Structure 1
Amino acid sequence: MTSTEAKSPDELRMPMAASPASAGLAWSLVEQRLICWGLGEDARYDARLILSELVANAVAVSPRGGCITVLCRRDEIGLAVGVADTDPGLPREPAPVTELRPEDLDLREENFDDNGGRGLVIVKALSTCCGVTPLPSGGKIVWARLRA
């Protein structure tokens, strides 16, 4: 599902399939809105990285065939991006950043793509603040604010 619904010219809400392919589609649609809002390339780049991490995390906890909702809002403080999913579990606080060495990674072919877990560290580093808002429906929105 890729319908785009704007609650106001300063807000974008997009229900999407909980699929890894949704990250690219979400970014394309959000970037067009950020360009219309006059955001510069640096702010759009940070928003892209944050949105990619949030979508990936939401997809990972969503059931097959499920749905996520990408949210983007501009206000007097800056820009907020978030992703809602139906999983009631809250993300774990990221571990402190340490130097990652090649020997810390499991490079076997069957585990090559499982060396992640640094997404929320990236979100925290690029945002002015971030958090989780539980939803009455049992899910949550994981969000981040950026200066724009």
Structure 2
Amino acid sequence: MSRQCAGDRLVLAAAPEAVGCTRTFIAAKLRSWRAMEALDEALLVASELVTNAVRATGLVAVQLRVAGPSLYVEVWDNMPGVPEVKCLEADAEGGRGLHLVEALATRWGVCHPQSGGKVVWAELSLPAPALLLSPEAASEELADAVLLERVLDALSGR
């Protein structure tokens, strides 16, 4: 089977445990999608993005999407600010997260959905095929929907 599209999301309280929960979620999803070749990079990228979101806010949402040859790690929080890649001193104890994301991701960025907050996303390459969803699910996932709108729907029970 060729990979077309798959996706799933997780909503968490912004607590230190959110990073560990995210890592468990990603490992389970990638295993079920037969996309384990991206595990190490996805875990590191998601850990860095979720850590930043936990420091910024009270609610964090993580979404994984497979579209074609790419895995997208998307992290939403309700703060509008844009994360900055900092110039680091050699002895700095922190601030390397976005440098790691830049190094591992094919590309990354930030979007601001109309409903508020921000989504920081990273694209990772997937060299091997993953699980294929039904054509209906694939079409829906490929739509240019924003993670925040999906999270708000889930929270409101729609």
> Which of 75, 78, 81 is the aligned partner of 2:70?
78
1:53 aligns with 2:56: no
1:13 aligns with 2:9: yes
1:89 aligns with 2:81: yes
User: What CA distance in whole angstroms lies between the structure 2 residues aligned with 1:94 and 1:131?
Assistant: 15
1:77 Cα deviation (Å)?
A: 3.0
Residue matched to 1:109: none
Unpaired runs of at least 5, structure 2: 127-158
The structure showing larger relative contact order (alpha-carbon pairs under 8 Å, at least 6 residues apart) is: 2
1:13 Cα deviation (Å)?
A: 1.3
CA deviation vs aligned residue, 1:94-143 (integer Å, no higher than 9, x gap): 43x77x3xxx24xxxxxxxxx21110000000000000011212200001
For 1:32, the aligned partner's letter is: A
Residue matched to 1:138: 116
For 2:73, the aligned partner's letter is: V
Q: How does 1:83-122 map to 2 (within 5 A)?
A: 83-95=75-87, 100=90, 104-105=91-92, 115-122=93-100
CA deviation vs aligned residue, 1:59-114 (integer Å, no higher than 9, x gap): 0111xxx211011000113100011000011111343x77x3xxx24xxxxxxxxx
Runs of 4+ aligned residues of structure 1 deviating over 6 Å after TM superposition are none
TM-score by length of 2: 0.72
For 1:23, the aligned partner's letter is: V
For 1:26, the aligned partner's letter is: T
For 1:68, the aligned partner's letter is: V
For 2:74, the aligned partner's letter is: G
Structure number with the higher helix fraction is 2
TM-score by length of 1: 0.77
Give the secondary-structure state (helix, strand or coil) at the position aligned to 1:32: helix
Identity %: 39
For these two proteins, the number of residue pairs brought into alignment is: 122
Query: How large is the RMSD of aligned CA atoms in angstroms?
Result: 1.6
1:12 Cα deviation (Å)?
A: 0.8
